[in-house]
């Protein structure tokens, strides 16, 4: 069996930042996203909230609806290079490198967009990167919906279960790094959870359960 080190991205290896929010603002500045797109995004959120579908904001990708997927990916690469990569924690990179040399499989797991996660994977020299996939129609246009598991909160548990089976991971011998209390659900699946740049609630939980706490 293989041991793995699973890293959250936003707030963890990318301190005090959301990669998707940075990308959203980048597209606004480039005028790729218009006021009409923002209105569609807001309307979709409001409708689903009223239909009691829960907190829909993070799963709502309607600001990208009808955009060409390949074009958006090209902007992802530009944004990552210019606006995001300079903010990746050098300490996080050192930790990943140390773990990789120790025989761990490095896995990045985030609710952010899959093309963004792929940029992080390459930059960090990680083995696997799993994010939230965008729905795409037969013409290559983005539908605004999520395709597959939304890798956020409880969705991360389902992803870890899947990759543990696929890669024959030894979860009790593995580690997980994250910054939010919502991540406790998947952090508890491994033998060595690490609270990174922890929110107050996660820090309280980590100290109470004798988890390691660090700052990246």
Confidence of residue 51 (pLDDT cuts 50, 70, 90): very low
Are 12 and 96 in contact by the 8 Å Cβ rule? The answer is no
Q: What is the pLDDT of residues 70-103, one digit of tens each?
A: 999 999 999 999 999 999 999 999 999 999 999 9
Are 182 and 163 in contact by the 8 Å Cβ rule? The answer is no
Task: Report residue 142 as tokens.
Answer: 């983005």
Domains in the chain with CATH codes: 4-214 (3.40.50.1000)
Average pLDDT, the chain: 89
CA 106 to CA 98: how far, in whole Å? 10
Are 60 and 45 in contact by the 8 Å Cβ rule? The answer is yes
Q: What is the pLDDT of residues 145-175, one digit of tens each?
A: 888 877 777 889 999 999 999 999 999 999 9
- Considering only residues 25 and 15, tell me which one the structure prediction assigns the higher pLDDT: 25
CA 97 to CA 114: how far, in whole Å? 22
Confidence of residue 54 (pLDDT cuts 50, 70, 90): very low
Across 51-55, 140-144, 193-197, least confident range: 51-55
| pLDDT of 69 higher than 80 | yes
- Cα–Cα nearest to 201, from 213, 216, 186: 213
Q: Which residue, chain included where needed, has tokens 């799993």?
A: 130
Mean pLDDT of the region 115-137: 95
Are 8 and 109 in contact by the 8 Å Cβ rule? The answer is yes
Per-residue pLDDT, 76: 95
Task: Report residue 16 as tokens.
Answer: 């005090």
Q: Beta strand pairing status for 4-7 and 105-113?
A: parallel
Q: What is the pLDDT of residues 37-49, one digit of tens each?
A: 666 656 655 555 5
Separation of first and last alpha carbons in the chain: 29
pTM (2 decimals)? 0.88
Per-residue pLDDT, 53: 47
Query: Which residues touch 113 (CB under 8 Å, ≥6 apart)?
Result: 19, 20, 23, 61, 76, 131, 132, 134
CA 125 to chain centre: 16
| pLDDT of 55 higher than 80 | no
| pLDDT of 57 higher than 70 | no
Alpha-carbon torsion (118, 215, 154, 33), positive or negative:
negative
């Amino acid at each position: 069996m293989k041991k793995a080190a699973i890293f959250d991205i936003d707030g963890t290896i990318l301190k005090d930042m959301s990669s998707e929010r940075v990308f959203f603002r980048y597209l606004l500045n480039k005028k790729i996203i218009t006021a009409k797109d923002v209105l569609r995004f807001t309307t979709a959120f409001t409708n689903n909230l009223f239909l009691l579908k829960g907190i829909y904001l993070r799963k709502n990708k309607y600001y990208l609806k009808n955009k060409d997927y390949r074009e958006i990916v090209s902007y992802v690469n530009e944004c990552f290079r210019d606006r995001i990569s300079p903010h990746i924690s050098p300490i996080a990179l050192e930790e990943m490198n140390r773990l990789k040399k120790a025989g761990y499989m490095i896995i990045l797991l985030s609710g952010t967009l899959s093309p963004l996660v792929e940029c992080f994977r390459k930059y960090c020299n990680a083995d696997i990167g799993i994010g939230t996939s965008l729905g795409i129609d037969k013409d290559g246009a983005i539908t605004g919906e999520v395709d597959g598991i939304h890798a956020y909160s409880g969705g991360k548990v389902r992803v870890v279960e899947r990759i543990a089976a696929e890669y024959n991971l030894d979860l009790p011998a593995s580690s997980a790094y994250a910054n939010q209390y919502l991540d406790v659900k998947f952090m508890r699946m491994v033998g060595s959870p690490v609270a990174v740049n922890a929110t107050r609630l996660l820090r309280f939980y980590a100290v109470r359960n004798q988890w390691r706490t660090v700052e990246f």
